[in-house]
Amino acid sequence: MKKLISNPLLHFLLIGAGLFLLYELVSPAASGEDIILIDDEIVNRSVLIFEKEWGRPPTQEELDGLIARQVKQEVLYRQALKMNLDHNDELIRRRMEQKLNFITNDLATMDDPTDAELEAYYQKNQSKYILAPRVSYIHIYFNPDKRTTARSDAENLLKTLPNQAPTIIRIEKLGDAFPFLSQVRRANQGEIASQMGDEFAASVLDLPEGQWSGPVLSGYGTHLVYVLEKLPEEILPLAAVRDDVLRDYQYALYQEYNDKIYEDFKKQYDIRIQVSDQILKENVLQVPNEAKE
């Protein structure tokens, strides 16, 4: 019961219910539809925006202009609503949706998660915090633009190389100059692929550790590769990814709250989907029967 009372979603729903009730009580008797009130809050907000843009307060003339602009904006806004100009406007719809989501997101962050809640979220979503397998390696490059026999050159050299940890100094004259690093430390498959290509990255991860292997092909040419170290997949502890987990937890909470509040709003409407078969036929991508199977 205590947890339920402290639940921010419950707070929001109670506040929302109160606002709806207040609207129902006040709106029938309200006759101030044509009254435009420019109060201190509105003026202060306008002044703050002006100061942020210009780095100084407005002059009296400029303040008069800000107030006049607020009045004009409100007049045109109300008139636009009366003329239903907000209907079927995609930009307005998106902006209203965004503003409502901002409100629900603020409510979702009313309370920081406890250590137990964060730990529970982490345990449930550990697959998001896995460090992919990594490999450290040195490679010798054979440039096909300079050699017509790059692959055979690599194969011949492989026969002469001792299976012991090499150094850059020892191998730098055995092949051709490479435009990037010849030694790579603890890189995962995606990182290797971004520089060397998918085929090379996949091959290197499968090579045995502690010996020369090859030839291995990349988008640049042919390589001999010595794997220095292979690190398996690793689940990172919560302490190492706490900030990431907290961010993901809060985002998941945003989504959960937005979904719950949307479902609550949705119950207030009679939603009917009435689309003719002809419209569907003309506007929906038709998938062949064999593709469906």
Structure tokens at 244: 């990431």
pLDDT band at 108 (very low <50, low <70, confident <90, very high): low
Strands (E), the chain: 130-131, 134-142, 183-188, 212-217, 222-231, 234-235
C-alpha gyration radius of the chain: 32
Question: What pLDDT band is residue 284 in, cutting at 50, 70 and 90?
Answer: very low
Q: What residue ranges do the domains of the chain occupy?
A: 1-30, 33-87, 94-129+239-293, 133-232
Longest dimension (CA), the chain: 96
Q: What are phi and psi of 206, to 5 degrees?
A: -95, -5
The tens digit of pLDDT for each residue in 43-94 reads 778 888 888 888 888 888 888 788 778 777 777 777 777 777 777 777 777 8
Q: What is the CATH number of domain 133-232?
A: 3.10.50.40
* Long-range contact set of residues 173-182: C-beta below 8 Å, sequence gap at least 24: 174/140, 175/140, 175/141, 175/142, 175/143, 175/224, 176/141, 176/142, 176/143, 176/146, 176/147, 176/221, 177/141, 177/143, 178/139, 178/141, 178/220, 179/220, 182/138, 182/139, 182/140, 182/141
Distance CA 139, CA 161 (A): 12
| Per-residue pLDDT reduced to its tens digit, 179-190 | 888 899 999 999
pTM recorded for the entire structure:
0.52
Tens digit of each residue's pLDDT (9 = 90 or more) over 265-277 = 667 767 665 656 7
